[in-house]
């Protein structure tokens, strides 16, 4: 039987391999690193003496492809979040706290209720969201929303920065709306915030590897693809340096690599060029703390970080579009982010607990209007070559949901069942 070769064991590659193996399709999975997960991974950190994630990852209850993937790998119950959609915020400059609480149904009654929306905002500020919904492909988030409104600083700015990992003055309005359309626009049932209960690996990666193993698929780690050899309009072989893999006449290839790697291997294919960093800080507290309301996250306004996540005694902060910050020494970043944390959690400013700063310099592509036209679809000019990855033309921002959906879609196309992955 024909083999589908999947290169890249990030979420896109894993999602593709899971879907193919569900259909008893023989799969060969290759990964350059010694572990799976790519930009969504966990590892043991000696300084903190525990497993940490490379960065906080937030899922929303409306992320249907990611939720279906979790169910498919038997990890459907491995996420944690409040029973109802709620987003607590703290303005570090004024000390003011509030909770944004969308109601469950699709009709956004909550924006009419001052107690459920951002303080100091009017109903008319909230209705500005329709300008996002109607935005043309060349519009940025800042083009569509009123930057003078308190809603900008207290909601849209941190939300858009987190979703697009791009400053909202440059980020694509259309992409932000695509994400909101599948979550907030569906009401509270679509935008419940969810995080991995223990670690990213425990939820999203290890169960997938176990499920693949049960089906006879093992990842060939340490396999960095160096060239894709094409002849007579088809991919013929894969060059992994010390190992060459010949493709049979019916074999297929799914490349699930980051954009830079794909562009280097296949220069004919346009890929988004620029990227942005995400900086994460992890602090190991002496004892567990709880956020007011008991949820796992807190939006921070007026500090360095935009979001604070809590898992027992591990507090983790995220700074998106953090290219300038990533150039600073880790000690300086830790001091700055601990100052925000201590204020947010009412903890002593000194001593600073053990910290780990993780700088992901190419966390996602720069999600600007200009980059949208450089996102290729899953099919290519070579009939046995398919593309996956969060940066391909999913119609969504570069997120877990986009990565998983791209892998599922590539798998469906390989199996001749287009459309099932969408």
Ligand X SMILES: Cc1cc2nc3c(=O)[nH]c(=O)nc-3n(C[C@H](O)[C@H](O)[C@H](O)COP(=O)(O)OP(=O)(O)OC[C@H]3O[C@@H](n4cnc5c(N)ncnc54)[C@H](O)[C@@H]3O)c2cc1C
State the residues that interact with ligand X by CB under 6 A.
7-13, 30-33, 38-40, 54-58, 223-225, 256-258, 261, 278, 280, 360, 363-364, 389-390, 398-401, 403
| Identity of the residue, 10 or 421, whose beta carbon is nearer to ligand X in the bound complex | 10
The whole-angstrom distance between residue 216's C-alpha and the CA centroid of its chain comes to 28
| Identity of the residue, 146 or 261, whose beta carbon is nearer to ligand X in the bound complex | 261
Q: Which two tokens stand for residue 358?
A: 């993780």
| Identity of the residue, 266 or 400, whose beta carbon is nearer to ligand X in the bound complex | 400
| Identity of the residue, 133 or 264, whose beta carbon is nearer to ligand X in the bound complex | 264
| Identity of the residue, 88 or 389, whose beta carbon is nearer to ligand X in the bound complex | 389
| Identity of the residue, 118 or 400, whose beta carbon is nearer to ligand X in the bound complex | 400
How many beta carbons lie within 10 A of that of residue 420, not counting itself? Answer: 12
CA distance 52 to 320: 18
| Identity of the residue, 11 or 111, whose beta carbon is nearer to ligand X in the bound complex | 11
| Identity of the residue, 125 or 390, whose beta carbon is nearer to ligand X in the bound complex | 390
CA distance 311 to 41: 16
Q: Are 408 and 417 in contact (CB under 8 A)?
A: no
To ligand X, the closest distance from the beta carbon of 12 in angstroms equals 3
To ligand X, the closest distance from the beta carbon of 112 in angstroms equals 29
To ligand X, the closest distance from the beta carbon of 104 in angstroms equals 22
Q: Which two tokens stand for residue 128?
A: 């500005």
To ligand X, the closest distance from the beta carbon of 251 in angstroms equals 17
DSSP output for 235-269:
EEEEE-SS-EEEPPTT-EEEE---HHHHHHH-TTS
Q: How far apart are the first and last CA of the chain?
A: 26
| Identity of the residue, 41 or 336, whose beta carbon is nearer to ligand X in the bound complex | 41
Q: Which two tokens stand for residue 294?
A: 């008991």
| Identity of the residue, 126 or 325, whose beta carbon is nearer to ligand X in the bound complex | 325
Q: Are 19 and 408 in contact (CB under 8 A)?
A: yes
DSSP output for 100-150:
E---SSSS-GGGG-TTTS-TT--HHHHHTHHHHHT--TT-BHHHHS-TTSH
Q: Are 387 and 12 in contact (CB under 8 A)?
A: no
To ligand X, the closest distance from the beta carbon of 109 in angstroms equals 27
CA distance 84 to 101: 8
CA distance 72 to 81: 20
* CA triple 69-70-73, angle to 5 deg: 85
To ligand X, the closest distance from the beta carbon of 261 in angstroms equals 4
To ligand X, the closest distance from the beta carbon of 127 in angstroms equals 27
List, in sequence order, every residue forming a beta bridge with 283; answer none if it has no partner.
315, 355
Instruction: Taking the CA atoms of 178, 296, 350 and 347 in sequence, report the sign of the dihedral they define.
Output: positive
Give the phi and the psi of residue 212 in degrees, each rounded to 5: -65, -40
To ligand X, the closest distance from the beta carbon of 358 in angstroms equals 7
To ligand X, the closest distance from the beta carbon of 400 in angstroms equals 4
The whole-angstrom distance between residue 130's C-alpha and the CA centroid of its chain comes to 25
To ligand X, the closest distance from the beta carbon of 258 in angstroms equals 4
Give the phi and the psi of residue 224 in degrees, each rounded to 5: -90, 120
To ligand X, the closest distance from the beta carbon of 227 in angstroms equals 10
| Identity of the residue, 101 or 282, whose beta carbon is nearer to ligand X in the bound complex | 282
Q: Is 359 exposed, middle or buried (0-12, 13-18, 19+ CB in 10 A)?
A: buried
CA distance 416 to 154: 46
């Amino acid at each position: 039987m024909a083999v589908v070769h999947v290169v890249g064991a990030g979420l896109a590659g894993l999602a593709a391999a899971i879907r193919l193996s569900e259909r008893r399709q023989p799969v060969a999975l290759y990964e350059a690193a010694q572990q799976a997960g790519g930009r969504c991974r966990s590892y043991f950190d000696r300084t903190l003496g525990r497993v940490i994630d490379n960065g906080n990852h937030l899922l929303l209850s409306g992320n249907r492809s990611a939720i279906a993937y979790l169910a498919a790998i038997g990890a459907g119950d491995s996420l944690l979040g409040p029973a109802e959609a709620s987003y607590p915020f703290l303005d570090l400059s004024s000390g003011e706290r509030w909770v944004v609480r969308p109601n469950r149904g699709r009709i956004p009654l909550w924006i009419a209720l001052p107690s459920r929306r951002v303080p100091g905002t009017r109903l008319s500020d909230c209705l500005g969201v329709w300008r996002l919904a109607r935005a043309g492909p060349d519009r940025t988030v800042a083009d569509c929303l009123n930057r003078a409104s308190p809603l900008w600083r207290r909601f849209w700015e941190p939300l858009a920065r987190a979703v697009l990992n791009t400053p909202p003055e440059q980020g694509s309005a259309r992409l932000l709306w695509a994400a909101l359309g599948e979550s907030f626009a569906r009401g509270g049932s679509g935008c419940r915030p969810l995080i991995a209960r223990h670690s990213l690996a425990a939820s999203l990666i290890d169960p997938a590897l176990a499920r693949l193993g049960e089906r006879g698929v093992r990842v060939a780690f340490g396999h960095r693809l160096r060239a894709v050899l094409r002849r007579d309009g088809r991919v013929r072989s894969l060059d992994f340096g010390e190992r060459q893999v010949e493709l049979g006449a019916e074999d297929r290839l799914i490349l699930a690599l980051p954009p830079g790697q794909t562009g280097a291997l296949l220069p004919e294919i346009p890929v988004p060029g620029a990227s942005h960093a995400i900086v994460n800080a992890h602090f190991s507290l002496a004892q567990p703390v709880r956020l007011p309301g008991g949820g796992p996250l807190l939006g921070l306004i007026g500090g360095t970080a935009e979001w604070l996540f809590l898992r027992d005694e591990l507090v983790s902060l995220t700074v998106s579009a953090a290219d300038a910050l990533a150039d600073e020494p880790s000690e300086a970043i830790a001091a700055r982010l601990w100052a925000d944390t201590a204020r947010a959690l009412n903890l002593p400013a000194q001593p600073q607990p053990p910290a780990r700063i993780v700088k992901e310099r190419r966390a996602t592509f720069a999600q600007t209007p200009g980059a949208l036209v450089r996102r290729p679809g899953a099919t290519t000019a070579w009939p046995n070559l398919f593309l996956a990855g969060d940066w391909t033309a999913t119609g969504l921002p570069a997120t877990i949901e986009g990565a998983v959906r791209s892998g599922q879609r590539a798998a469906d196309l390989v199996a001749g069942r287009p459309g099932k992955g969408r």
